[in-house]
Structure 1
């Protein structure tokens, strides 16, 4: 099963939309605290619509807690960052891989990226979004 990891997400609507997509694709969602919202927040539920109760989601107190509870993620995790040289489509993902996305305002912390440079991926963006 594919896994999406959100490290300290800040926006409930983004997390809700990602949660809904996880339900549709049978993907597990991992949320690493601190979260910028409460899990019962209306914006989160509204974005996730009626799917939130069907979501396979686990919440972790911090990144260390996530790693300790998911030892199988080691070597099988990819880190989405604008700083990566490798494009996401250049990677062959295994069935049980993990894709991590950082905070909307700051991304994944530099120390995590440096430790995992070979597994950093970039999603190309053009125009005014880049």
Structure 2
């Protein structure tokens, strides 16, 4: 059996968050979508559940992190190429996301990142070989 991962993220404005991730080229799985949640398909085994705050609170008694003051999570995704890394960051920035760093080239690995509309950090990396 292949393990699938569902990352649950609280979002302030579900329609805006859906539009943001669709602008990056990701699709929704309507089977897991309603007025309070949307399933964004990252790959065959990785899904992001965008949940309005009240729905997210159904899964935890803890407070939702204020991402303007603290880091809640950093999610890293592998990409097929450096161009895909740059494209996803550019799409994120064009659709309201931000970044706090510059691309880094380690020879065997190229990285960059963005922060989505709700302050969740997304690292992108392309590995072109083994580290020296």
Task: Identify whether the pair has TM-score above 0.5, normalized to the shorter chain.
Answer: no
Structure 1 or 2: more helix by fraction: 1
Higher RCO structure (Cα 8 Å, ≥6 apart): 1
TM-score when normalising by structure 1: 0.29
Structure 1 or 2: more strand by fraction: 2
